[in-house]
Structure 1
């Protein structure tokens, strides 16, 4: 696969809390273990917000799934990084190395600007990875890769559908996937990742991450119809080709994710005349 063939990288990140960092930063002098610090912070978050969500600044990536797309939006490949070890520092290095290797394709995410990319940016900072092409802060504002309106560098579908925060995208990726017949959330969501990791369910986390990338991909395709980059017939033909890809991957039995996704697959039905 040549670099010129990859135009988009659709990706998703699953992460776990760095309990040692939480202990040092939030509870200095209390001598809390990593587990104790995390539990205390989660309790505080539940009391304050109703959720045990830990901010991205305290998170480590333990699963990154990436789909490579051609310029005509066709799915070429979907992989998870650093399998089967799933080491945060290796995942981070491979992610940014891959982006460079393929000629800095456009990132496609759902809420990647608010979560996934900050996790990977801070991980690069932590591990001493140089990213001048991404942190091109001396370029003109609208040419900077991290500029929220630079859709050549990054298409965040939550920004697209919320008009960059002007409206609430209630229901999120799950809703958008369901609107076009795709599985969406099927029993697992990001709030369960920490517990799954702690109980050794790393493969299941990566399967979930693959499915999130597939949902993001199909929502991206429909967004291209919305923006006039694809006709509806073109989109449906690409969706069919992607379905065939998933069938082939499911037959290899390398990951349960593809079979699971196909079992929950639904075709989009146009409204009756």
Structure 2
């Protein structure tokens, strides 16, 4: 099945998220209480809700998107390019720009979205933040009434499971075992909050997000047993 897919019909993506507020104390009293209730089964008894707030960006109800990076193939004869671009800054602007991209270039039935762990994280997170921000869902994220085989989403982690429901594999590990050269990343997901709030270095987050998009595309190519992208084929637009 993977071999039959047209690479130009796939939009690869990754998102970076942070807590809505920098500190737990910045939340209003109701939000603090709701966060304590939401996180009580995820944190150990000795860890307070305030200490655990470092991870609030993982939940769409308490986090926000600061960057969406996308990548897509552009084929011209034997030439293959992978173009990467990012939406960043104000969350509402990010979501509107991403929605417009889907509407203008990836709205047809043949088009698919692809992310690593996208079905559990990226796709529902984007959809929830759109609803929270009062935006109508684009067709590619509105799953109501769709049959499983009609959902236009690909997930490289799910593809790697091969039917194993309990198997989790990080993008970094999967890239390593598939022999994909590791990009020179100077951060990981646990650092995004501090880089955003403490260092105010959005460019660093964008670079990290874009590298994950490229790695996801490389994993997809390996799963099709195709040649990996060279540095010359990757274009920032």
**Fold match, TM over 0.5?**
yes
More helix by share: 1
Q: Distance in 2 between matches of 1:25 and 1:164?
A: 41
2:3 match: none
The CA RMSD over aligned residues, in Å, is: 3.5
In structure 1, what is the equivalent of residue 223 of structure 2?
223
| 1:122-151 deviations in Å (ceiling 9; x for gaps) | 111022221262324234x23543xxxxxx
Tell me, yes or no, if the aligned pair for 2:16 and 2:67 is still in contact at 8 Å.
yes
Larger radius of gyration: 1
TM-score by length of 2: 0.75
SS at match of 1:114: coil
Match of 1:259 in 2: none
SS in structure 2 of the partner of residue 112 of structure 1: coil
- Residue 175 (structure 1) aligned to one of 167, 173, 189: 173
Structure 1 Cα separation of the partners of residues 144 and 69 of structure 2? 27
Runs of 4+ aligned residues of structure 1 deviating over 3 Å after TM superposition are: 20-26, 48-52, 70-76, 184-187
Call closer, same or farther: CA 1:143–1:22 in 2, change over 3 Å: farther
Task: Please report how far the alpha carbon of residue 159 of structure 1 lies from its aligned counterpart in structure 2 after TM superposition.
Answer: 1.0
- Change in 2 beyond 3 A, CA 1:177/1:132: closer
The structure richer in strand per residue is 2
1:135 corresponds in structure 2 to 142
What is aligned with 2:73?
69
Unmatched 5+ residue regions in structure 2?
Answer: 1-5
C-alpha contact 2:14 2:209 (8 A) present in aligned 1: yes
How far apart in 1 are the matches of 2:172 and 2:183? Answer: 4
Structure 1: which 5+ runs fail to align? 30-36, 146-152, 226-234, 255-273
The CA distance in 1 between the partners of 2:224 and 2:75, in whole Å, is 12
Q: Give the equivalent residue in structure 1 for 2:17.
A: 15
- Partners of 2:181 and 2:100 in 1: CA distance: 31
